[in-house]
């Protein structure tokens, strides 16, 4: 089995080589470049491509992969909005890592929130300059505040439990409510209206693209804090900028950004940032941005590598592919996945 890994960093290479117990059967080639229409030729001669969140697998890339004989697309992440799964159906199988560490992302979400409201990043920079003044660093208690969580899957559920531990009132919205967690499910309108803090933990779909925009923000409390550690395109960034300037949004914490693909994960410190929108966000004192870092823990990286390698091995051994995804996954009564078969 010849596998090409795209958009890889040193930590990816280290962890995949560490967990490859099938070296006689499975060989990895690591590419730093992202997979897209310009680089898809690099996949020629491989049985499988392993991709990440900012690789672009549109219909053209899918068809070129199929032409090259690639049989499997293995996502080393849970989200698959960057893959045209409808085009892939019947041609190339797609698998993902649905559960690598919900704690990693949920804990980073809380870290962003605490850093923002207690101005820890500013205090850190001050003290390094021997400035021990507390002026301008006043925060507020989380205890007793209302947090609205949109999406209560694995990550949203863990974040809800963390918020409960802080003594917060937790509102939640999800199309499939989970009654096992201590939250109050409400409509999206009521969540917007009553939440002091709103945190996004839902996948990106055509239906919720840019659903955080000027119209939805207008329904929120004045000074609301918005957190997004899910997918950048859930938020209309231009609208968000305007609402920050208008002081409707009190603070924003972002680990994702809708135009991140050519910026995040890269060192741009010696370059002029060409993205004016991101530059404006970074210039604002009440905006805290990390570059898609939430997943990056030792436990998560180990789980990603082990699950991806097992996904590949199971596929090529004609085993059951429990993590296979397709465009109509689980929606049909005749779904082969429900019968523990391949999707096609």
Residue 76 is among the residues annotated as catalytic for this protein: no
User: 51: helix, coil or strand?
Assistant: strand
Q: Is 210 a catalytic residue?
A: no
Can you list the domains of the chain with their CATH numbers?
A: 2-100+298-339 (3.40.50.720), 102-289 (3.40.50.720)
Catalytic residue among 231, 243, 258, 324: 231
- How far is the CA of 269 from the CAs of 21, 272, 283, in angstroms? 38, 8, 15
Identify the active-site residue in 243, 258, 260, 324: 260
Q: Which residue has the higher pLDDT, 318 or 267?
A: 267
pLDDT tens track for 113-138: 999 999 999 999 999 999 999 999 99
pLDDT band at 340 (very low <50, low <70, confident <90, very high): low
At what angle are helices 102-117 and 298-316 packed, to 10 degrees?
150
Q: Which tens digits make up the pLDDT trace of 177-187?
A: 999 999 999 99
Q: What is the pTM of this model?
A: 0.92
Q: Cα–Cα distance between 21 and 38 in angstroms, integer?
A: 32
Strand (E) or helix (H) holding 128: helix 120-128
Q: Is 292 a catalytic residue?
A: yes
pLDDT digits (tens, 9 = 90+) for 84-123: 999 999 999 999 999 999 999 999 999 999 999 999 999 9
For the cut 90, the answer to whether the pLDDT of residue 14 exceeds it is yes
CB 149 within 8 A of CB 183: yes
């Amino acid at each position: 089995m010849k596998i090409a890994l795209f958009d890889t960093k040193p930590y990816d290479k280290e962890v995949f080589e560490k967990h490859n117990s099938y070296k006689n059967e499975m060989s990895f080639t690591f590419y730093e470049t992202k997979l897209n229409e310009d680089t898809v030729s690099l996949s020629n001669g491989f049985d499988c491509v392993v991709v990440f969140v900012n690789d672009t697998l549109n219909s053209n890339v899918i068809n070129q992969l199929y032409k090259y004989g690639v049989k499997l697309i293995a996502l080393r992440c849970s989200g698959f909005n960057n893959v045209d799964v409808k085009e892939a159906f019947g041609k190339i199988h797609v698998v993902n890592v649905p559960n690598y560490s919900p704690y990693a992302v949920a804990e980073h979400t809380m870290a962003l929130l605490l850093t923002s409201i207690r101005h820890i990043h500013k205090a850190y920079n001050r003290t390094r300059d021997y400035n021990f003044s507390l002026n301008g660093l006043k925060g507020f208690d989380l205890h007793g505040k209302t947090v609205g969580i949109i999406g209560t899957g694995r990550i949203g559920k863990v974040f809800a439990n963390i918020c409960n531990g802080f003594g917060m009132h937790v509102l939640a919205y999800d199309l499939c409510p989970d009654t096992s967690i201590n939250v109050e499910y409400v409509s999206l309108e009521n969540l917007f209206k009553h939440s002091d803090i709103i945190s996004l933990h839902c996948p990106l779909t055509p239906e919720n693209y840019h659903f955080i925009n000027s119209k939805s923000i207008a329904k929120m409390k004045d000074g609301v804090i918005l957190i997004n550690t899910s997918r950048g395109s859930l938020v209309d960034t231009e609208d968000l900028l305007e609402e920050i300037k208008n002081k409707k949004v009190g603070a924003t914490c972002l680990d994702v950004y809708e135009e991140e693909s050519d910026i995040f994960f890269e060192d741009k410190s010696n370059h002029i940032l060409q993205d004016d929108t991101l530059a404006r966000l970074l210039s604002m004192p009440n905006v805290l941005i990390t570059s898609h870092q939430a997943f990056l823990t030792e436990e998560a990286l180990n789980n990603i590598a082990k699950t991806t390698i097992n996904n590949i091995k199971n596929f090529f051994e004609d085993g059951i592919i429990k993590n296979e995804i397709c465009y109509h996954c689980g929606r049909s009564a005749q779904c082969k996945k429900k019968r523990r078969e391949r999707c096609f």
